[in-house]
């Protein structure tokens, strides 16, 4: 019976060694895959950081442009108000504004002379310059 026990033990040991070799190869293959995935993850992290920096730069630039646009809008609003005030204070410009509107509506020289009290030469000039 000791020979049978010895054979059983040898078979058991050989089987265990075969299983150990099998799992060792599997572990080696899995380790290779883990290493490859680790490299991909590190590369992905580097790319993500690069994109993050670029996005931050874009945000900063956009904020600067936005502030500049707001400043320009405020200046434009002030200039428009000044222009409007100036045109309302000058009675002569009111006549010319009215004359331009009338020309846009198709008024003739005589109408401009009568309604806006413009000289004939000015009425003709306005019509020639602004007629559609």
pLDDT of residue 120: 87
What are φ and ψ of residue 84, in 5° steps? -65, -45
What are φ and ψ of residue 107, in 5° steps? -70, 155
How far apart (Å, rounded) are the C-alpha atoms in residues 35 and 43? 12
Residue 11 inside a domain? The answer is no
- Domain holding 131, by residue range, is 90-132
Provide the sign of the torsion angle of the four alpha carbons 52, 58, 64, 66, taken in this order. Answer: negative
Residue 10 inside a domain? The answer is no
Per the prediction, the chain carries an average pLDDT of 87
Residues 85, 77: contact at Cβ < 8 Å?
no
CB atoms within 10 A of CB 87: 13
> Does the predicted TM-score (pTM) go above 0.85?
no
3-state secondary structure of 106: coil
Residue 79 inside a domain? The answer is no
pLDDT of residue 90: 59
Q: Considering only residues 86 and 56, tell me which one the structure prediction assigns the higher pLDDT.
A: 56
Residue 82 inside a domain? The answer is no
Residue 67 inside a domain? The answer is no
Residue 124 inside a domain? The answer is yes
Residue 71 inside a domain? The answer is no
pLDDT of residue 94: 67
How far apart (Å, rounded) are the C-alpha atoms in residues 43 and 97? 67
Number of domains composing the chain: 1
Distance, CA of 27 to chain centre = 48
Give the percent of the chain with pLDDT over 90.
48
Whether 89 shows a pLDDT value over 70: the answer reads no
CB atoms within 10 A of CB 14: 10
pLDDT of residue 105: 86
């Amino acid at each position: 019976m000791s020979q049978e026990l010895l054979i059983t033990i040898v078979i058991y040991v050989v089987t265990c060694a075969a299983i150990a070799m099998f799992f060792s190869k599997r572990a080696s293959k899995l380790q290779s895959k883990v290493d490859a995935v680790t490299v991909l993850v590190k590369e992905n992290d580097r790319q993500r950081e690069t994109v993050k920096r670029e996005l931050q730069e874009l945000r900063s630039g956009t904020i600067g442009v936005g502030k500049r646009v707001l400043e320009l809008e405020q200046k434009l609003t002030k200039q428009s108000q000044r222009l409007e005030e100036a045109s309302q204070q000058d009675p002569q410009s009111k006549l010319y504004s009215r004359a331009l509107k009338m020309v846009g509506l198709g008024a003739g020289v005589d109408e401009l002379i009568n309604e806006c009290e413009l000289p004939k030469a000015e009425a003709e000039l306005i019509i020639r310059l602004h007629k559609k």
